Chains A and B, each alone.
Chain A
Amino acid sequence: MATPLSLKELSKKETMITGGHRMCSGCGAPIVVKMALLASEYPVVVANATGCLEVSTCISEYTAWNVPWIHNAFENAAATLSGVEAMYRSLKKQGKINSDIKFIAFGGDGGTYDIGLQSLSGAMERGHDMLYICYDNGAYMNTGIQRSSATPLGADTTTCPAGTCVSGKPQPRKDLTRIMAAHGIPYVAQASPSHWSDLMKKVRKALEINGPKFMNVIAPCNRGWRSRTDDAILLSRLAVETCYWPLFEIENGVTRVTVKPKEKKPLSEFMRPQGRFKHIFAPENEALLKQAQHDIDAYWERLLKEEAFTAPPEPGQ
């Protein structure tokens, strides 16, 4: 069993990703990484897909990583970590390694939802003991804000720019968290850096489970979202409170919504501070805003029903 999180304990732990890396000020991704590594009670080896996080944290001769770290290419963090984890099992079986080591992959939404989906699916199906964490900022931010399959409906990106004929991205997001759950792996979760305790508990729980685990974590990007530099936590909180980014986990097929907003805020509160949605508020795009709100509502309702169906209240409650 994972030990409970306490700020006292966390304050004494060494940060495994150092300051001084070259991520943009206000970026959500390194916050997610810092929390995830802080949550681990084991030594970890990290694999990193090509992307902002990778390109900004290990520029020769410097590295921000206090843990063993490997970057291979864009689409293969999960396959690369499969190899590391298999070598660990081989050497452990041969008595050449005695310590317990955990394996975490980090990839952005481009490297996870899109180009890395096959290698991720393969690694999950093969049952490697690893936790894959997607930091989802909803576009190819590293190459300059191109649309990905994680880009939300209507968002303005450099490859689906809002214009007179096209109002940003015409399609809704791919539901990767559920695709991963459909692999039947023991643990899948969504988290947000605004809810640090929820995020870190999920990481700690995941690392206690043997086998493949997946977490999807929202990670605001002020460059791509065209928001204030210091709004990463505020926006990720609004993503949770509007149910744009529900916090839930699916453990051995049982769904549990881990944070239920007291009052579900309208989606527009999440969208309005972001320049990528500016055009959505024009009168001619009213239908698009309605559609986006409808999609969010439907997803939330379905999630609650799923929770009630898979995890009925304990008898007597």
Chain B
Amino acid sequence: MSASRVVAVTGNESVAEALRQVNPDVSAAYPITPATDIMQRFTHYVSNGKVKTEMILVESEHSAMSACIGASAAGGRVMTATSSQGLALMWEELFIASGYRLPIVMSLVNRALSAPINIHCDHSDGMGARDCGWIQLWSENAQEAYDNTIQAFRIAENMDIRLPAMVCMDGFIISHSIERMEYLDDDAVRNYVGDFKQLYPLLDIAHPVSYGPLILSDYYMEYKRAHAEVMSKVKHVVLDAASEFERISGRKYGLFEDYRLDDAEIGLVVLNSAAGTSKDVVDAFRDRGIKAGLLKPRLFRPFPYEEVGEALKHLKAVCVLDRADASGASYGPLFMEIASSVSPYSPRPVLLNKIYGLGGRDYLPGHAESVLSELAEVAATGKVRTFKEYIGVRE
């Protein structure tokens, strides 16, 4: 294990520090709350010669991702950061980045999508981009955001996959809150990430390549099938990167965190910061003799269906908490993944879906308590009052 420094920093500060340590060749970014702070801190490093990065301060997020695509195809390490509307504006480019298999790393500071305009946390931005061919890692706190950012470069740049990766953390709740955490030392991070390996760089004048051909019905589907094949390798790359990261940091990462699940009868599934609050409440239920547990997905794309299904199949009742909604048109996006994960099993847990925390609405221990109490009742009686509902909302 390498030396580490204990610090008290915000989530944004921790990501900016990770980016300083990784020291990418190029970054293109555009300000948007709450991600702005990452790039403000990072450009401070640029202005003071702490990194070698060429900054491109673009005129929109669409151009930010466009420039990242050009820079990455040119042949170097590239990163950016955004939130909400910024990610929505990049949407077209997200598919092109992954379609060209460019290992761009992006920090996504989760924020609600308009309308109404709102700057606070929910996951509607990241969920809207879940099927764009990127790897998605989600982070509970500043430590995880820092650790995931460092691991994301190693994962994205792995020669077997070469895919862009986005690292999500909760806007304001994590991005702007100060926490105690540990930084690795610079050398440990640089050795872990390693030198960037070029693959078909545009700047290799002696070997001209063409990026972005037209492929019609004759081969488009094979191209997309090949992308899916590459995605299937991501799980292993993520686990390898995690085990190597554990060696330098002592911190263990997997495809998801399973918390007191082994003998659990009821459980919560929840992403990011709300998992922290929920774990405290799980402990309180355990103290009362109720076998509660929790699963917090980390690798959301590609989603590890088999492993999640195995981890949850023995529970009697599970509630999936979604911090994103489809405006009532379907269940929450996390719920649908969990439902797919347990569907091959019989018996399987009864599944409930609660939509919480939209637009930064607080998620409090009382919410987790009432959900777990309801689950205990469902487990005991087999009776479900309602499969999907909104919590913490004025009805």
Contacts and interface: CB of A to CB of B under 8 A. Distances in A.
Interface stretch (B58-66, B125-133, B175-183, B356-364): B58-66
A29 to B, nearest CB: 16
Given A70-B212, A83-B69, A93 B59 contact: no
Interface string B82-123: 000000000011001000000000000000000000000000
Interface string B9-29: 000000000000000011010
A149 interface: no
Nearest to B93: A73
A86 B213 contact: no
A43 B210 CA distance: 15
B194 to A, nearest CB: 15
Q: Which of the listed residues B93, B96, B213, B215 has the most CB atoms from chain A within 10 Å of its own CB?
A: B213
Contact of B73 (A63, A70, A76, A99): A70
Interface string A159-183: 0000000000000000000000000
Which one of B53, B66, B69, B213 has the greatest number of beta carbons of chain A within 10 Å? B66
Contact of B211 (A69, A79, A89, A93): A69
Interface residues on chain B, size class: 35 or more
Contact of B63 (A54, A87, A99, A118): A118
A80 interface: yes
B62 A83 contact: no
Contacts of B69: 72, 80, 83
Interface in A80-100: 80-91, 93-94, 97, 99
B205 A43 contact: yes
B384 interface: no
A79 B62 contact: yes
B209 A68 contact: yes
Given A55-B214, A70-B70, A84-B202, A122 B59 contact: yes
Contacts of B54: 86-87, 89-90, 93
Nearest to B28: A83
A299 interface: no
Given A87-B26, A91-B25, A119-B63, A101 B72 contact: no
Contact of A68 (B53, B58, B63, B205): B205
Interface centre among B68, B73, B74 (most CB of A within 10 A): B74
B70 A82 contact: yes
A59, A75, A91, A94 — which one has the most chain B CB atoms within 10 A of its CB?
Answer: A91
Given A81-B70, A122-B58, A86 B26 contact: yes
B275 interface: no
B26 A47 contact: no
A177 to B, nearest CB: 21
A67 interface: yes
A34 interface: no
A143 to B, nearest CB: 14
B66 A72 contact: yes
Contacts of A69: 202, 208-212
B210 A58 contact: yes
Contacts of B282: none
A68 B204 contact: yes
A60 B219 contact: yes
B71 interface: yes
B56 interface: yes
A213 interface: no
A283 to B, nearest CB: 46
Interface string B222-242: 000000000000000000000
A71 B215 CA distance: 13
Given A91-B25, A122-B63, A86 B214 contact: no
A66 B67 CA distance: 23
B211 A87 contact: no
B392 interface: no
Interface string A89-129: 11101100101010000000000000000110110011000
Contact of A80 (B67, B209, B213, B215): B67
Given A82-B67, A87-B25, A119 B62 contact: yes
B75 interface: yes
B107 to A, nearest CB: 18
B203 interface: yes
A65 interface: yes
B52 interface: yes
Contacts of A97: 203
B293 interface: no
A81 B56 CA distance: 11
A134 to B, nearest CB: 18
A257 interface: no
Q: Quick one: which of A43, A60, A65 has the most chain B CB within 10 A?
A: A60
A69 to B, nearest CB: 5
B59 to A, nearest CB: 3
B339 interface: no
Contacts of B219: 60
A73 B68 CA distance: 13
A80 B216 CA distance: 23
Nearest to A76: B66
Contact of A70 (B78, B204, B211): B211
Contacts of A118: 59-60, 63
Contact of A72 (B59, B75, B204, B212): B212
A23 interface: no
A58 B70 contact: no
A82 B212 CA distance: 17
Contacts of A43: 205
Contact of B66 (A60, A119, A121): A119
Contacts of B311: none
B76 interface: yes
A205 to B, nearest CB: 22
23 contacts: A45-B205, A55-B214, A68-B202, A68-B210, A69-B210, A70-B73, A72-B69, A72-B93, A79-B66, A80-B66, A83-B56, A83-B78, A85-B70, A86-B71, A87-B25, A87-B54, A87-B71, A91-B25, A91-B74, A91-B76, A99-B205, A121-B59, A125-B59
Given A76-B63, A87-B25, A87-B78, 4 more contacts: A70-B202, A73-B66, A83-B66, A83-B69
In the A-B complex, the 8 residue pairs with the closest CB atoms: A83-B70, A71-B212, A122-B59, A83-B71, A83-B67, A87-B74, A79-B63, A79-B66
